[in-house]
Structure 1
Amino acid sequence: MIQMQDVWKTYPNGVMAVNGISIYIKKGEFVYVVGPSGAGKSTFIKMMYREEKPTRGEISIDGKSLSSTKEKHIPFLRRKIGVVFQDFKLLPSLSVFENVAFAMEVIEESKANIRKRVMNVLDIVRLKNKARFLPHELSGGEQQRVAIARAIVNNPAVLIADEPTGNLDPETSWEIMHILEEINDRGTTIVMATHNRDIVDSMRKRLIAIEGGRISRDEIRGTYSYES
């Protein structure tokens, strides 16, 4: 599903963020990515959806090479990848329904398909009753659930969650995690960067720990720490 082969990333200022990483993530896995600030975790995540390009090495998702894909084809590639951010990135003037529908409108889905699918995913994230609300009328947890709905509305093969509980209180964080687990149970591969020790230690999944741009630990049911 997701494969990195000897991937390196050096920024123009000379900082080496990723240092020869090779991994394989199977279809349907739920993977935590942990590591201290500056370890290369964010770069590792961003390269999966081509926000960053590796300096060298090969990255592929579902058999498609990200490294060799032309810029004009990146939007089509990203249809297979949903991304959830820590700060939600909702459009403030659009309703909950419109925020989620926007992801389908850009790929020119029919209005009938949009309405049916949007309401289905709002049901999954338990926000069907708030379809007409604006983002500022929602709690932080509800806004994150809208962001999740938008990320999965086009049935991506992979969902990448970058600190999805980082701005949320513990109770709300658990609500988000249970929703992500349900999405994973439906077959979506999930890669989640997190600093949340309680979640990692309680909901044991595969854990990839990154330190100094390298993978320091890769365990099937890992607990929260960086070093082996």
Structure 2
Amino acid sequence: MIEMKDVWKVYPNNVSAINGINITIEKGEFVYVVGPSGAGKSTFIKMMYREERPTRGDILIDKTNLSTLKEKQIPHLRRRIGVVFQDFKLLPSLTVYENVAFALEVIEENPSVIKRKVMDVLDIVRLKSKARALPDELSGGEQQRVAIARAIVNQPDVLIADEPTGNLDPDTAWEIMDILEDINHRGTTVVMATHNKDIVNTLKRRVIAIENGRVVRDQVRGEYGYEI
């Protein structure tokens, strides 16, 4: 599903963020990406949905080469990749339903299909009863669940979660993890960058550890052994 071949990323200020990474993530895997701050995790994640472009090397998502992808092709790519951020990025003036529906409206989906898909994903994230609420009427955990619903409403092949529990209390973080596990069990590949050792060490999945822009450990059902 995801393959990186000798990928390097050097920013214009000559800071080298990624140094020759080779990695393969299979369809249906749940993978944690861990490592200390400044290790290159964010760049690693951003390159997967073409927020950043590698300086050298190839990144393939289901055989589509992101390294050579034209700008006009990026919106189509992102229909196949859902992204969840630490700070939710909800539109404050839109309801829960409207925030999720927006992802389908921009691709001009049929209104009847939009309604069905939105209510289906709100059911998955346990928020059907809050469909008419505005973001500021929700808790942080509920807002993150809306963000997850928006990310999966297009039924993406891959869900990328960048510190999705970073702003949440422990109990709420576990609620989010239950939902991400459910989404993974439905067949979506999940790649999650995190600093949360308790989650990584309890819900044991594959762990890719990055330090100084390199993969220093790639372990199936591993543990978080790195300082934040």
1:43 aligns with 2:63: no
Deviation at 1:184?
0.1
Paired amino acid for 1:126 = R
Query: How far, CA to CA, are the matches of 1:110 and 1:5 in structure 2?
Result: 39
Q: Which residues in structure 2 correspond to 1:162-181 (within 5 Å)?
A: 162-181=162-181
Deviations 1:6-38 (A, max 9, x none): 000000001000000000000000000001011
Q: Which residues in structure 2 correspond to 1:12-31 (within 5 Å)?
A: 12-31=12-31
Query: How far, CA to CA, are the matches of 1:117 and 1:43 in structure 2?
Result: 31
CA contact (8 A) 1:210 1:226 kept: no
Paired amino acid for 2:218 = D
CA contact (8 A) 1:216 1:226 kept: no
Query: How far, CA to CA, are the matches of 2:42 and 2:178 in structure 1?
Result: 23
Q: Which residues in structure 2 correspond to 1:102-141 (within 5 Å)?
A: 102-141=102-141
Query: How far, CA to CA, are the matches of 2:98 and 2:169 in structure 1?
Result: 26
Corresponding residue SS for 2:36: coil
* Residue in 1 that maps onto 2:218: 218
Deviation at 1:151?
0.1
* Residue in 2 that maps onto 1:192: 192
Query: How far, CA to CA, are the matches of 1:126 and 1:77 in structure 2?
Result: 27
Query: How far, CA to CA, are the matches of 1:136 and 1:13 in structure 2?
Result: 39
* Residue in 2 that maps onto 1:32: 32
- Provide the aligned C-alpha RMSD in A: 0.7
Deviations 1:89-110 (A, max 9, x none): 0000000000000000011101
Deviations 1:194-220 (A, max 9, x none): 000000000000000000100010001
* Residue in 1 that maps onto 2:59: 59
Deviation at 1:225?
1.6
Query: How far, CA to CA, are the matches of 1:189 and 1:215 in structure 2?
Result: 20
- Runs of 5+ unmatched residues, structure 1: none
Deviation at 1:46?
0.3
Query: How far, CA to CA, are the matches of 2:41 and 2:190 in structure 1?
Result: 15
CA contact (8 A) 1:4 1:58 kept: yes
Task: Count residues with an aligned counterpart.
Answer: 227
CA contact (8 A) 1:47 1:54 kept: yes
Paired amino acid for 2:206 = R
Deviation at 1:141?
0.0
Query: How far, CA to CA, are the matches of 2:27 and 2:211 in structure 1?
Result: 25
Query: How far, CA to CA, are the matches of 2:208 and 2:170 in structure 1?
Result: 23
- Runs of 5+ unmatched residues, structure 2: none
Query: How far, CA to CA, are the matches of 2:78 and 2:154 in structure 1?
Result: 10
Paired amino acid for 1:137 = E
* Residue in 2 that maps onto 1:85: 85
Corresponding residue SS for 1:93: coil
Query: How far, CA to CA, are the matches of 2:62 and 2:105 in structure 1?
Result: 24
CA contact (8 A) 1:82 1:151 kept: yes
% same residue:
75
* Residue in 1 that maps onto 2:158: 158
Deviations 1:57-111 (A, max 9, x none): 0001011110111001100011100000000000000000000000000111010
CA contact (8 A) 1:49 1:78 kept: yes
CA contact (8 A) 1:211 1:226 kept: no
